[in-house]
Amino acid sequence: MRAAIYNPYLDTMGGGERYSLAFATVLKELGFRVDVEWKSKNIKGKLEDRFGIDLTGVNFVKDIKRGDGYEVCFWVSDGSIPTLRSRKNFLHFQVPFHDVNGKTLLNRMKLFRIGKAICNSYFTKTFIDKEYGVKSIVIYPPVDVTKIKPKRKENIILYVGRFSTLVQSKRQDILIGAFKRFSQEFGDWKLVLAGGIEIGKDESLDRLEKASLGYPIEIVKSPSFKEIKKLYGQAKFFWSAAGFGVNEKKEPEKVEHFGMTTVEAMAAKAVPFVFSAGGAREIIKDSENGYLWRTTAGLLNNTKELITAKGLVKKLSEKAHHSAQYYSYERFKREITGLL
């Protein structure tokens, strides 16, 4: 049996790319020979290092011919609908595309060849179903909840996300501004911003570095999975401002579509404080397993409350850890196996 994977964004090495590789891993474990289309085989080692995933037995080839000759094809959409030719075709939407003229006659004809449209969250599904006139299913991304574990906690606030102004608005600048105010009252804390710089790096990173000068703020560029695990393990809190200042109804692509790094932090018992937009509301129950915030004042007030309230950090960190277990690879594998 042969299976094909296509993701035009592999070199961005984000959550959607981790999703595609997890799908490839499931297929491999089910006995498929798996081919991933990419222009260079050199990306394989980089992906293994970034995601801590074993891609032994997964082949990187120049052309999967849109699934022609394969039993299964998993294709990540760039907003367009491809003509797929395998026996079973799955089209994955990791971005809530809209206003792309999705309901054309040609698209409807192409969709006859698609077994299922798959979304990474109900937030994404809302836009995809409306735009393309489909009834997609939601299969949440898998997170390495067994590999990411809590360590001895330090006074570290962490954020993990690409240093890029492409499409999504990660807004590390908002976190830096809030932390400067926070550090005036809590001087023994440190802010760590970690993320990839492979794609979309521009002068905004230079501005972040300049804004951090003189404060206990560390910027970690393109960390390996080993480094990321250590940071998650040490951090007490996870801050995210992704989507801040965005109208998510008009520009849903600019907010977090799911939030894999949030779940990874929760797996390590870091309490999440995440801007209330996009997929975050599917992960976090406000004040139960983390916090959803709308203003930086709210972010700071919730953070200070958690630090000063006796026993609250332990309570929420345990709830966060418990919630993260739902997003395990084993759950993902069961759902993909059932789909096949």
Q: Assess whether pLDDT exceeds 80 at residue 224.
A: yes
SS3 label, residue 202:
coil
Q: Is this model's pTM higher than 0.75 or not?
A: yes
- Do 63 and 174 sit in the same domain of this protein? no
**CATH number of the structural domain spanning residue 275:** 3.40.50.2000
Three-state SS letters, 106-149: HHHHHHCCCCEEEECCHHHHHHHHHHHCCCCEECCCCECCCCCC
Q: Assess whether pLDDT exceeds 90 at residue 202.
A: no
The answer to whether 132 and 92 have CB atoms below 8 angstroms apart is no
Domain that holds residue 276: 154-326
Residue with tokens 């759950």: 331
| One-letter amino acid of 322 | H
Mean pLDDT of 191-197: 92
Q: Assess whether pLDDT exceeds 60 at residue 200.
A: no
Last residue of one domain, picked from the residues 110, 139, 168: 139
pLDDT tier, 201 (very low <50, low <70, confident <90, very high otherwise): low
- Do 158 and 53 sit in the same domain of this protein? no
pLDDT at 43: 94
Residue with tokens 């997170």: 143
Mean pLDDT of the chain: 94
Q: Kindly state the percentage of the chain with pLDDT values over 90.
A: 87
Q: How many residues does the chain have?
A: 340
CA distance 81 to 260: 25
CA distance 88 to 84: 9
336 assigned to some structural domain: no
**CATH number of the structural domain spanning residue 20:** 3.40.50
For residue range 123-162, list pLDDT tens digits in order.
999 999 999 999 999 999 999 899 999 999 999 999 999 8
Q: Assess whether pLDDT exceeds 80 at residue 165.
A: no
For residue range 251-307, list pLDDT tens digits in order.
999 999 999 999 999 999 999 999 999 999 999 999 999 999 999 999 999 999 999
Give the DSSP H/E element, type plus range, for residue 324.
helix 312-324
